[in-house]
A and B are shown apart, each in its own frame.
Chain A
Amino acid sequence: MTEPTTTSGRRTDALRAVRGTPDPGTPGGGTPGGFAGAVACEWTKLWSVRSPYLCLLAGLVITGVFTFYYASIARINDHPVEPAGNAVASSAVLAQFAVVILATVAVTSEYATGSVRASLLWVPRRHRVQAAKALVVAVVSFAAGVVYAVVGTAVAWGAFDGRASFDAGTTLRQALSVGLYLALVAALAVGTAFATRHPAGALSILVTLLWGLPSVLLGVGGPDLAAVNDYLPHGAGDHFMRSGVEAPYAPVSATLIVVAWAGVAHLAGLYVLRGRDA
């Protein structure tokens, strides 16, 4: 042990000396804390370990490679001209897993290490813990999505080499849409992770929902299966991220479908978090 060799007496004195002015009023009362405190706590916890940085970096690399590939194919095969941001909208099928893993690990690592009990001691209202974590992860994912969109559009623009159109308004709207989509799937992942408590279980569900099912539905083909996919999170997300393509419903409806998925995941997570002992 590399502890300082102060005597126990000196430690005790130090402790007494540093004690601040006691909080007036009822114990546990006061202004801060609450939801704002829970959010600050989650923010601190998120950035104090390595995995979020790695996830976000991986997402950026995936976006860069995917958008370059997408735009190159469009150029080589002489695809019709489309907004450059569509390359980024397409890349979300893979890039979404950067924030899904970030969000899942942010929850399940607490169960793996037992530190979830500390989190619940610090913030005993369980819905508040879950909401704070979802909010923090969603905000980070939104920012990541916007950055990915800007970088991805730039990369794609070069690779399209004229096979794409650029319009500042459309690009901005698409960047915000990608951010919104990633924020919502990150929140979806937080709810799922609280419901399963284990990374394997959570990621099985999320990969199936966000990638496996859409691949099967669209791979097998047919309008009926495609219609089903329109109501899955990525199918709906694709409709509000992509520009200049026909969609079965308005972008607002598409957004609400993804919101509904995230909401269901959170209800499931909250049911488990509230019902079970920590």
Chain B
Amino acid sequence: MEKVYELGIDVGSTTVKTVILDDGNIIYNKYERHYSKVRETVAQQLEIIGNLYKGQRFRMAITGSAGLGIANASGIPFVQEVYSAFVAVNKSYPDADVVVELGGEDAKIIFLTGGVEQRMNGSCAGGTGAFIDQMATLLGVTPTELDEMSLRAEKIYPIASRCGVFAKSDIQPLLNQGARKEDISASIFQAVVDQTVSGLAQGRKIAGKVLFLGGPLSFLKGLRKAFTTTLKLDDEHAVFPELAPCFMAYGSALQARDLSEEMTIDEALEKIKNAKTHDSIAVGKPLFETEEEYHEFIKRHSRSDLKYADIKEYEGDAYLGIDAGSTTTKLVLITDEGRLLYQYYGSNKGQPLDVIADKLREIYSIKNKNIIIKGSCVTGYGEDLIKAGLGVDYGLVETVAHYKAAAYFCPDVDFIIDIGGQDIKCFKIKNNAIDSIMLNEACSSGCGSFIQTFAQAMGYDISDFAKLGLFAKAPVDLGSRCTVFMNSSVKQAQKDGASVEDISAGLSSSIIKNAIYKVIRAKSVSELGKNIVVQGGTFLNDAVLRSFEQELGRNVIRPAISGLMGAFGCALFAKEKAKEQSDIISEKELEDFSYTSKNLSCGGCTAHCNLTVIRFNDGRRFVSGNRCEKGAGIKIDTTQENLFEYKYEKILEIENEKPVTKVKAKVGMPLALSFYELMPFFHRIFTDLGFEVVFSERSTRDTYYKGQQTIPSDTVCYPAKLCHGHIESLFEKGVDFIFYPCMSYNIDEGGSDNHYNCPVVAYYPELLRANVPELNDKNFVAPYIDINQKRHTAKALSRALSAYGVTEKELLPILDRAYSDMVRYRRGVESKAKEIIEMARSEGKEIIVLAGRPYHIDPEINHGIHKLIASLGLAVITEDSVSSLCSTPDLDILNQWTYHSRLFRAAQYVTTQPDMQLVQLVSFGCGIDAITTDEVRAILEEKGKLYTQLKIDEINNLGAAKIRIRSLIAAIEEKKEREKRKINV
């Protein structure tokens, strides 16, 4: 009988792997990147094999995330990739317990013992090979270099790996603050491990003999190290097979015998080449129908060019503007008349300080000696560092800088949209001031840099890649979700045979749709106004610009210096505030300019901020990473009170009161969710019943890590996730049982349609009981209670605590006291708020109602946003401190959640107070806030108030929050000035 080989082909998201078996033994394997040319690469690989095994016959099977299309079209059998891995592992490592496999865009875990279970990453592509590639690009190194650096790390920073975009916003500030790249590299790997442990394992322990598969795990030593250390595996239990990258191809080869008919390579090639792709891809309109249309477009936009002047010839005053953005650095030098003397736009290479110092040296060396720099101004993420390091005169909020620049080109501009490397910013302009700001939320950011990363992944330079899209005949419709999701849309389009041109055009249009539908959320074009100015580096891309015009159906203005608008606005600002001579670092000082950076953990308070201390050669130092001014060595004004801290301390204080009688038992209460408001109530009940009440620890990042193994849903809000750690903390404290009631209903404060808790707050105890293995019916008391009804509450509690002989009768008087305690706590908050308001008014300060939910007082949840706001010279109070001061306004929604109905009343109250503003704090993943935020905005805006929203989750980077708050302050000031002018007229 003629010999028949088995061939396994694994078509992954970034690579093609092939394995040939002869009688079950591997005789050939190969690993090749496909750069999205899936079909071509597969064909190539087959040709290579065909040459090696001329005329031989094979049975073959395809596997892998990008293999399905080819398999379906060619009729070669397809095997699900995780199943392939499963088969291969069973064959070669029958004693393995768990398999962890990281691929290009997938992450998978297979539990083999104790109930076979296979898991793939959800709709998020975080924690995968693509994520690591993206991070390497961000650091300006190759993945191999990243790996080498990680081995020299000294410390680990917390980085979110849920999705690349999140991680970026964690890493960028670290880079800007000068953190060591070695440490960041190791932190990136640690983030991948955390993602795998919490996101994939979801409560199941990764233990026993663990097999690690996939490309990244076989090539990256640092990643291996992070996994083995975190999972506490020794060499015997952590297995890294040599064949790891080709393991799934091996698995599919093993199955080929049963699935496939015999064929020669030529026959297989024939099948693949002739395979028809179905035309299921949605197709958009071409960007330009004709070449002429394109030229017309180019001509129109060249009208918004800036005039230039020669830096070598010009003599006189000049103004310097710097935009130290998140990924790029921009510099301009302009003349009195706004002519451009010098411009620079480039990557900050993770070292903005070095890049800017370099460019300044260049300016000094080429400029005419009679140019006097009279003012300088900086904006962007690196503002503070640059200002401190290089003696820049002014700092400006990004939003204001952009408006100034836009107004220069179009004095009656109505709407500005700026798409940068990582952010989309939109401002509506009314009465010559910024009226409302829309920023992209963490999940949809990364727009500009996404195209860039994508271009690189496909093997193109960004500008070439963008140009390809201009004349695409059938741009792919990729939807408008966050960029990480787009990855899989692109994958699908490729599978369906879309060309690189079509994908390039499709990506441009996606970014635009993201901006219009997600960030601006415009219902109609007319809403944006007549005069629209677009800017930001991403709009330098003609395809993106054209997509925008197409989507809006109207022409917009793109200044030729679109990417430099922030810097240009700064230069204009510097001109307005011109001095005799700018304080900026001189040519001579620049010669000796140098600095060192060091990382410290601040001991100022429990937040333990990661500080980066930069010491300049002249002895000055700059501290960043701190939320308050304490770490920067500035003495804090202790007289200033902040309602967030007041509430938090008041709740914590409660624990000190212990029962006077003999202690019946130790009851634990987690410092989480609704307990942040109901602690006075439940503590009183249990203390007076004779129980010692023990609170869980104060939340920190470690609290989260403690419980992350038992979190079953990775998209639930961070406050809920923290509960798991608090339960662990209570066990550590040795409590006899934990009390955590389920409550469909919250406190009825009246004036609303109902008084529910949100589903998560209401029933989280049910989830905890089902997922925390230590919990059982004895040590977890979770009765259903509606605390609005005294008799019922007494009955329910006596039933739940019957083991301790608690009776309904003894509870009734205790409940009276508990209700009073709850009211007293609330009154305390309200009168403290009054004090703070009066104090602020006497000092002429603006007052911010930082409106969220009771658990937002947890420092691990709010990340110190209240401190940040206070440090900007504002007084901070909370929503529950003013919500009883007015009645519910007319609403257009069903007002049925207690916490949320306070927001509406607080917003209504703010509209009656000229010196108050409301800032809404929203936890990522809070579905109910999708309804409340629009309503709160409507209440405020109807009465001419500004609306600001801050979205928070486990990421503790406050950069975006700071921009919003500062923009708010700028807008308030602008408004005040306008009113002053009105009065003067």
A and B interact physically: no
Chain A residues with a Cβ under 8 A of chain B: none
Chain B residues with a Cβ under 8 A of chain A: none
